[in-house]
Structure 1
Amino acid sequence: MKKKWLLPIFASFTLFTGIGIHDAKAATIADITNTAKEYIGVPYKYGGSDMRTGVDCSAYTQFVFSKVGISLPRTSKTQYQQGTSISKEHLKTGDLVFFNTSGSGVSHVGIYIGDSKFISATTSAGVKIDKMNDPYYWGSRYIGAKRIADFTENDFGEVKDAEIDFSVYASRGEVALRLADVLQLDTSETNTSFPDIKPSSNYAGAVEALKKMGIFTGDEHGKFNPSSPITRGQLSKVLVEAFHLQQQGTADEFTDVPPTHWANPYVVILASTKVTVGKGDNTFGVNDNVTLEQLAAFIQRLSQ
């Protein structure tokens, strides 16, 4: 899953093949990490390729890359023949990392996600995140890495998930849960059209309920991106539409939200209804990621 992100906006994907580095300008760092993490907990199955019943390591990497428009061969050994070799100190998010777990060369593959961590389908616990330099296992079994694609940051300068502390900041999924709760929505329907929200997801019912209200829509590829943060500007639009707010008299003006800014109408409404007073320095913080504390404060004021 970094960067300071706004909602990820992705260009159209095409299917890439070949053995060099793919020109993956359409695939972002957020896309590869969010897709990889969506399947944490999927069980391991030798030779398996079904994300519902179980996968082995190379089927998992093949599947994740296919979701961002990149074709990989089926086995870890043939995947090791792809792309360009990358030294350990130059690893980037999205690189494939390989290990010798059998004593006879390449036998395990995972996806590097930054901060010396990788995600893979393990025989012990299914799809999970591990440390590259784990002295008890992975560290001594590391063989090398291959760069299959140069994943880009999105148009809004998205960062890697590891840099977003969701014990401090609110994710889109968390916003959906809180809004569905305060609005007392029926969250029993868990089948959504968002490809990155499985029916078993904790967010599924809330996301679908809010989608029916027109509060949340997907990105260009229809994804909800539950693990992405949300900015104060974006949240202002969500709150105005969720609570059907209208402007009440005049409102404080913020220097970072001029009349030409897309979020201005929503911020003006929040300010006029005293849901927000800004940051105290004549700014609203329109591009700041929303903290859990701020989210709770907004919802409390709206619920009074």
Structure 2
Amino acid sequence: MQKKKWLIPVFASFMLFSGIGAMNAEAASVEELTSTAKQYLKAPYRYGGTSITSGIDCSAYTQYIFSKFGISLPRSSSEQFNVGTSVAKSDLQAGDLVFFNTNGRSISHVGIYIGDGKFISATTDGGVAIDSINDPYYWGSKYVGAKRVADFTAEEVEEAKAEVAKAEVKSVSVDFSIYTSRGEVALILAETLGLDTSDTNSPFVDVKPSDKYAGAVNALYKKGIFIGDEQKKFNPGSPMTRGELSLVLVNAFGLTQSGEAVEFKDVPTTHWAHDFVSILASNDITQGIGDGKYGIDDLVSKEQLSEFIEKLTEN
């Protein structure tokens, strides 16, 4: 098979200005932000928890979701209330943080506004859930205010993205006779899971109904296993990292933590994929690449994907 060259972005965070004003985020990311937030509906709640799988509280949840878009938020709801720009209730936009006083003393709950009077947050009784900010039985009377911590429509964003791309994009040669593509991962996962792939009309602009992986991609999208990027692209011809694959496999097979968390040298607890990698390891799906490392940024080879699937189907 002929080698193909791909430009693989090294994604850089768009940093927040601390404390005052709204920050720049990637253009059109507001839809991706809300869809990503909804991906974790029913994730369990735990006071003080920071794990999306074993338990997370409201401010850790907002912090976790925004971190996926290069936006750093403080840890507590009261601290988050002190950043960004105040927004009137009548001017709320999807992506704004909304705050509530549920203890009768101070700011004690935070969520992400997703439009139409709804917000998503980690709740004590139902885990991550969607509620109305005007709920007459509870949230309506607890509402305090809102903050815009990221400007998703800033004119400067495209220029900033261009500068990041210019400075941090590197060209590498990917041999797809050795490494697997996202399209190939979709085909193999859909077959392994026994999904109905007859509907080939996927929501991704770069996946045509005539493409061989269209049905698989759409089936996985419907299951919430693949959500695409902010440009509504699936990128079927791009490679996948072992970190990205850990998230996909955990969601695809409904895995949960089994026993103590498993740590790897190259996957700190602050890494977005930490919990997913730990779940795979705790279920004996992976032992890493040796020397105490998982290979978080390594590209997934065909052989490695085959080994992952073999172990997952044995359990």
* C-alpha spacing 1:229/1:138, structure 2 compared with 1 (3 Å): farther
* Conservation of the 8 A alpha-carbon contact between 1:27 and 1:68: no
* Secondary structure in structure 2 of the residue aligned to 1:143: strand
Cα deviation for residue 152 of structure 1 reads 3.8
Secondary structure of the 2:105 match is coil
Look up the match of 2:53: 52
| Separation in 1, partners of 2:123, 2:11 | 32
Question: 2:109 is matched with which residue?
Answer: 108
Give the equivalent residue in structure 2 for 1:140: 141
What residue is the counterpart of 2:13 in the other structure?
A: 14
Counterparts of residues 66-215 of structure 1 (less than 5 Å): 66-152=67-153, 186-188=191-193
Q: Alignment identity in percent?
A: 50
Q: Distance in 2 between matches of 1:126 and 1:85?
A: 27
Change (3 A) 1:124 1:87: same
More strand by percentage: 2
How high is the TM-score relative to the length of structure 1? 0.51
Residues 246-294 of structure 1: CA deviation (Å, up to 9, x unaligned): xxxxxxxxxxxxxxxxxxxxxxxxxxxxxxxxxxxxxxxxxxxxxxxxx
Rounded to whole Å, the distance in 1 between the matches of 2:82 and 2:190 is 51
Counterpart-to-counterpart distance in 2, 1:112 and 1:95 = 5
Quickly say closer, same or farther: Cα 1:47–1:88, change in 2 above 3 A: same
Cα RMSD, aligned residues only: 3.6
Which of the two has higher C-alpha Rg? 1
Q: Name the residue aligned to 1:198.
A: none
1:260 maps to: none
Structure 1 position 151, deviation (Å): 1.7
Pair 1:230 & 2:203 matched: yes
* Aligned AA (2:152): F
Alpha-carbon shift at residue 11 of structure 1 (Å): 11
Query: For the structure 1 residues 229 and 71, does the alpha-carbon distance in structure 2 shift closer, same or farther, using more than 3 Å as the test?
Result: farther
Distance (whole Å) between structure 2 residues aligned to residue 95 and residue 27 of structure 1: 14
Q: Is the 8 A contact 2:202 2:209 kept in 1?
A: no
CA shift, 1:24, in A, is: 1.2
Over residues 30-82 of structure 1, what are the superposed CA-to-partner deviations in whole Å (9 max), with x where a residue is unaligned? 22101111111111100000111000100000000001110000000000000
Pair 185,106 (structure 1): closer, same or farther in 2 beyond 3 Å: closer
Report SS of the residue matched to 1:186: helix
CA distance in 2, matches of 1:100, 1:30: 27
> Could you tell me whether the CA contact under 8 Å between 2:26 and 2:69 is conserved in 1?
no
Residue deviations 1:157-208 (CA, integer Å, cap 9, x gap): xxxxxxxxxxxxxxxxxxx9xx97xx996224xxxxxxxxxxxxxxxx759x
Q: In structure 1, list runs of 5 or more residues that go unmatched.
A: 1-9, 156-175, 189-204, 211-215, 217-227, 244-304
Map Cα deviations across residues 217-252 of structure 1 (whole Å, 9 max, x no partner): xxxxxxxxxxx9727x755x2424349xxxxxxxxx
Secondary structure, in 3 states, of the residue corresponding to 1:25?
A: coil
In the other structure, the counterpart of 2:39 is 38
1:118-171 deviation digits (Å, cap 9, x = unpaired): 00000010000001100000001000000000124999xxxxxxxxxxxxxxxx
Q: C-alpha distance in 1, partners of 2:108/2:101? A: 5
Q: Distance in 1 between matches of 2:113 and 2:80?
A: 14
